[in-house]
Amino acid sequence: MRAYTLNELMTLTRAELFALHRQIVSGLALLPAGSPERLTALANLHYIRQALARPDGAPRIRPYPTVDRG
């Protein structure tokens, strides 16, 4: 399982965070207790919850590329 940093997760939209959370939770049951992969999954879930609870409460907006009209 890939480890995500909080900074990486903070760039995702709420929909992306919920989708990643769902994916990790569904795979968690297949991981053996105490395995490094399970610990990584649990850490990822913790960071996802932190990203979802950010103070602004709004999803990150990915700006569209700007067009120079000059």
Please give the pLDDT value at position 54: 79
CA count, 13 A, side-chain hemisphere, 69? 2
Instruction: Parse the chain into domains and list their residue ranges.
Output: 6-52
Task: State the residue for tokens 């997760």.
Answer: 9
- The model's pTM is 0.74
Q: What digits encode the pLDDT tens for the residues 16-62?
A: 999 999 999 999 999 999 999 999 999 999 999 999 987 765 555 55
Burial, 26: exposed, middle or buried (Cβ in 10 Å; 0-12, 13-18, 19+)?
A: exposed
